[in-house]
Copies of this chain bind each other. A is one copy, B any other.
């Protein structure tokens, strides 16, 4: 006879083996980082993965490449300012740009749900093609799978990308150091709010359009001007707050930011206040943070603001020698710790 306690001991299952995947595991916050650490890195650990960069930097035949992948499951498929097709180009091109690479080639892997209108697919692919042309990349390889009705959600698409790293500069989270100045390339939070407003069918005076856009040209302008860039990070899932926390942790530094310096559009701030969101945690798809040497900060700001896509670029803070955390001086002058996103604010925005 096997007693209950014997059965328990003969089949030891650690608590977390009984857990299941939640939406928050895809949210860009603490749960996702735990999943990456305990499941993916635990099994697949290697130096490239451990860079924890937006794109892996690898050597192929003596050439330095950036390689990255992202799956897109945004719901709805179309939203003000973009759709899953253009988003899938911008997101992957931007991940390559964050490694300082010139984006060259994309792959596109579609998972289609049986019953998807062919016209929807055509519109998504046409948008992807237009976005690729605009970003100067070519979709060179693809794949299509179809899953049974009810086992998908219209369509998901994965884009992976290859970029060429032509400069000799190292750009990586671990290279951020005290004194570095933190810039953002534009107003934050617009993409997440645009998708959420569309999904929930909310009506406001004017549509808030996603900021989804390619940023590789802007990054190239910084590098070509010889700006001493230590790290770049796009502000996607988990928003500015999570991106800064990731960098602080990877570099073992503190980051101090000024709330009033962070550009947030009035309409985005309004929707956030109405619905209880914090814009610091809302995803962008065409914005990045740059960590640059202090002597180059003003010049970097000038280059960003000189680009027609980045008029709201701003210096928002600096890197300090401290525990790895993000401190913010609020509008009223108080100090506030800005944590990484925990839980899930806005699921399926990319």
Interface on A for B, CB 8 Å cutoff? 13, 16-27, 32, 35-36, 39-40, 43-44, 46, 48-49, 55-56, 58, 60-65, 67-73, 104-105, 107-119, 121-122, 125-126, 128-129, 132, 138-148, 150-153, 156, 158, 160, 162, 164, 166, 347-348, 350
Cross-chain contact A109 with B140 (CB below 8 angstroms) = no
Please name the residue on chain B nearest to A158 by beta carbon: B158
Cross-chain contact B67 with A105 (CB below 8 angstroms) = yes
Q: What 8 new A-B contacts, CB under 8 Å, besides A20-B118, A44-B128, A147-B153?
A: A16-B118, A22-B114, A35-B144, A40-B142, A56-B105, A62-B63, A70-B143, A111-B156
Instruction: Pick from B36, B68, B141: contact of A69, CB below 8 A.
Output: B141
- What's the Cα separation between A166 and B347 when bound, in Å? 44
A17: B residues at CB distance < 8 A: 118-119, 122
A112: B residues at CB distance < 8 A: 21, 25-26
Q: A121-B21, A125-B44, A129-B44 are in contact. Are A104 and B60 (CB under 8 A)?
A: yes
Cross-chain contact B26 with A146 (CB below 8 angstroms) = yes
Cross-chain contact B49 with A140 (CB below 8 angstroms) = yes
Cross-chain contact B19 with A118 (CB below 8 angstroms) = yes
A63: B residues at CB distance < 8 A: 60-63
Q: A40-B125, A43-B128 are in contact. Are A147 and B348 (CB under 8 A)?
A: yes
- What's the Cα separation between A40 and B143 when bound, in Å? 10
The 5 closest A-B pairs by CB, nearest first: A26-B146, A69-B107, A160-B160, A48-B140, A158-B158
